[in-house]
């Protein structure tokens, strides 16, 4: 009889170490990109300022100036997006129980569950920053309390209503498309929540958060 062999513990440890190494390499890469791109970006920006009125005063000069200025803005947006994800991977998080009611203050909550006794150890900024990426004002939130977590959803803005899946994957897949959209901030929040055992995804025209939670006695 043929039996399946178990993976040696030493190999499991090596794979775990490889995962950690890959994660560290990704973090280093993001930090390097966000840092090293700043210098050439500032150089081009300064050159544009110094040139000032040196551009020809005809249509060609105007088009050239506008193209360079637009390109600079796009590069700055992409750099800001990468920097936001990089910082989210290194941010010091608060590990203190918070009332879910406090975390959701200012928003309209729709739920069939009792939420007044729900506590979470997730840094509240991970949630509030995700909401502020969607709107400056109050949101209508749907909430579902489960055994050890809370699922929260909110409608996506029209600009990204078709987004499906991971915001990090979407952003890294196309910085040009998503750098100056709410996806950039949501990607940073996704990193923060994942670090704390939570999750953030988009689908069906809504943003979905899952955060660890407990019911206070």
Lowest average pLDDT, out of 61-65, 76-80, 103-107, goes to 61-65
Q: Is residue 201 situated within a structural domain?
A: yes
User: What pTM did the predictor assign?
Assistant: 0.75
For residues 80 and 24, state if they share a domain. yes
Tell me whether strands 206-212 and 199-203 are parallel, antiparallel or unpaired. antiparallel
Residue that is last in its domain, among 45, 73, 90: 90
Tell me whether strands 108-110 and 140-145 are parallel, antiparallel or unpaired. parallel
Rounded Cα–Cα distance for residues 132 and 139 (Å): 9
For residues 82 and 128, state if they share a domain. no
Q: What is the pLDDT of residue 114?
A: 85
* H/E run at residue 169: helix 167-173
Residue 5 burial by Cβ neighbours in a 10 Å radius (0-12, 13-18, 19+): exposed
Hey, what are 160's tokens? 């990204």
State the total domains in the chain.
Answer: 2
For residues 116 and 192, state if they share a domain. yes
Hey, what are 146's tokens? 């489960």
pLDDT, the chain, mean? 80
What percentage of the chain has pLDDT greater than the value 90?
A: 41
Residue 55 burial by Cβ neighbours in a 10 Å radius (0-12, 13-18, 19+): middle
Q: Is residue 3 situated within a structural domain?
A: no
Q: Is residue 120 situated within a structural domain?
A: yes
**CB of 133 closer than 8 Å to CB of 160:** no
The DSSP secondary-structure symbol of 184 reads H
Residue that is last in its domain, among 49, 70, 90: 90
For residues 112 and 196, state if they share a domain. yes
Question: Could you report the per-residue pLDDT of 136-152, keeping only the tens digit for each?
Answer: 999 999 999 988 889 99
Virtual CA dihedral for 178, 183, 185, 190, nearest 10 degrees?
A: -130
Q: Is residue 28 situated within a structural domain?
A: yes
């Amino acid at each position: 009889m043929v039996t399946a062999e178990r993976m040696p513990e030493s190999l499991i440890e090596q794979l775990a170490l490889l995962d950690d190494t890959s994660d560290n390499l990704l973090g280093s890469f993001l930090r390097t990109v966000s840092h090293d791109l700043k210098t050439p970006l500032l150089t081009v920006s300064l050159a544009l300022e110094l040139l000032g009125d040196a551009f020809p005063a005809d249509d060609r000069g105007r088009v050239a100036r506008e193209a360079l200025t637009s390109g600079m803005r796009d590069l700055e947006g992409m750099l800001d997006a990468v920097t936001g994800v990089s910082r989210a991977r290194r941010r010091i998080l608060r590990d203190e129980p918070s009332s879910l009611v406090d975390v959701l203050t200012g928003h309209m909550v729709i739920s069939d569950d009792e939420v007044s006794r729900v506590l979470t150890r997730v840094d509240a900024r991970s949630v509030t920053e995700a909401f502020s990426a969607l709107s400056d004002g109050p949101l209508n939130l749907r909430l579902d309390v489960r055994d050890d977590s809370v699922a929260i959803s909110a409608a996506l803005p029209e600009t990204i209503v078709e987004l499906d899946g991971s915001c990090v994957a979407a952003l890294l897949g196309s910085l040009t498309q998503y750098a100056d959209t709410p996806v950039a901030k949501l990607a940073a929040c996704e990193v923060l929540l994942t670090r704390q055992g939570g999750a953030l995804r988009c689908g069906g025209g809504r943003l979905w958060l899952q955060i660890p939670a407990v019911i206070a006695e």
